[in-house]
Amino acid sequence: MPQLIDLSKPIRYNANDPWFMRVKIKHKPHSRARWLIRFLGLPFGLFPKNFTGWADDTIKSMGVHSTTHLDAPWHYSPTVAGQPAKTIDQIPLEWCYGDGVVIDVSHKADFDLITVADLEEALQKTGAVLTPSMIVLIRTGRDVLNGTKEFAEKGTGMSPEATRWLIDQGIKVMGIDQWGWDLPLPYMVKQAKQTQNRELFWQAHLVGREHEYCHMEQLVNLGALPPFGFKVCVFPLKIVGASAAPARVVAIVG
């Protein structure tokens, strides 16, 4: 039997998440449904024996980028190479299932960009060979910070050159096990302000203005995977017109 490895973080409220990305879920008790059914006209005497009602839940607040998710080209820019960018519901399902490869760059220090040389060296160590339509998973090891305030503040990040290099290998979907694809957002803001260099902010994401691709953020458990020889499923919610969607990302090993 194949082994299924969950690469998705739990969806729940976490006070340590940035305020604009906190998930809020209301869990409704079974007993609430009893009164709803009574209101709709069914007398209590006709309820099934020992009927407790049904549980229900409401997601009161959750941004599409708040948890493990897939970013669509629309997230990076309204156009890709002058053509309308795809929203998440327009992503072909064929992109979302394929052979997986883990590129381990967990040795990289916080705020040290991941380069093309880093990717090539990691692939050479494992013997993995990239082919078009593979799904590439970048392991930074920063998923250990999940649930802490540091998760959004620390990490490495993909350089625009490394992102472009993966796309040139025919990779349409790639992902990372830290908060974001680029260097941490607060660090990028600080560096851009200090240097007054308008080219420093969100460099890797903006590769998507000229090259069509998707990336996943906030993956977990990449350390449980072999370097290659497994499949990856990345099926995002079909939210019409959205820039991203939460996804249950699963690896199939064996």
Q: Which tens digits make up the pLDDT trace of 2-18?
A: 999 999 999 999 999 99
Nearest in space to 188 (alpha carbons), one of 137, 118, 113: 113
Q: List C-alpha distances in Å: 63 to 19, 48, 80, 182.
A: 11, 39, 23, 19
Q: Domain extents for the chain?
A: 24-61, 69-253
Count, residues in the chain? 254
Question: pLDDT (tens digit, 9 = 90+) per residue, 167-200?
Answer: 999 999 999 999 999 999 999 999 999 999 988 8
Q: Which residue has the tokens 């906030």?
A: 218
69-85: string of b/e by CB count within 10 Å (b at 16+)? bbbbbbbbeeebeeeeb
Contact between 11 and 67 under an 8 Å Cβ cutoff? The reply is yes
The one-letter amino acid code at 36 reads L
Contact between 14 and 67 under an 8 Å Cβ cutoff? The reply is no
Question: pLDDT (tens digit, 9 = 90+) per residue, 91-101?
Answer: 999 999 999 99
- Helix ranges restricted to H, 15-170: 30-39, 73-76, 116-126, 160-168
Query: Considering the entire predicted model, what is its pTM?
Result: 0.94
Q: Which residue has the tokens 């692939």?
A: 123
Mean pLDDT of 59-65: 96
Compute the distance between CA of residue 95 and CA of residue 234 in angstroms, rounded to an integer.
Answer: 8
Compute the distance between CA of residue 17 and CA of residue 148 in angstroms, rounded to an integer.
Answer: 7
Burial of 195 (0-12, 13-18, 19+ CB in 10 A): exposed
Contact between 139 and 106 under an 8 Å Cβ cutoff? The reply is yes
Other CB atoms within 10 Å distance of the CB of residue 27: 8
CA angle 122, 67, 254 (to 5 degrees): 50
Tokens of 55: 């549980």
Question: pLDDT (tens digit, 9 = 90+) per residue, 18-27?
Answer: 999 999 999 9
Strands (E) across 172-243 are located at 173-176, 214-217, 228-236
What local confidence, expressed as pLDDT, does residue 84 receive? Answer: 98
Compute the distance between CA of residue 118 and CA of residue 124 in angstroms, rounded to an integer.
Answer: 10
Compute the distance between CA of residue 206 and CA of residue 172 in angstroms, rounded to an integer.
Answer: 15
Band (233; pLDDT cuts 50, 70, 90): very high
The CATH H-level (homologous superfamily) assignment of domain 69-253 is Putative cyclase (3.50.30.50)
3-state secondary structure at position 131: coil
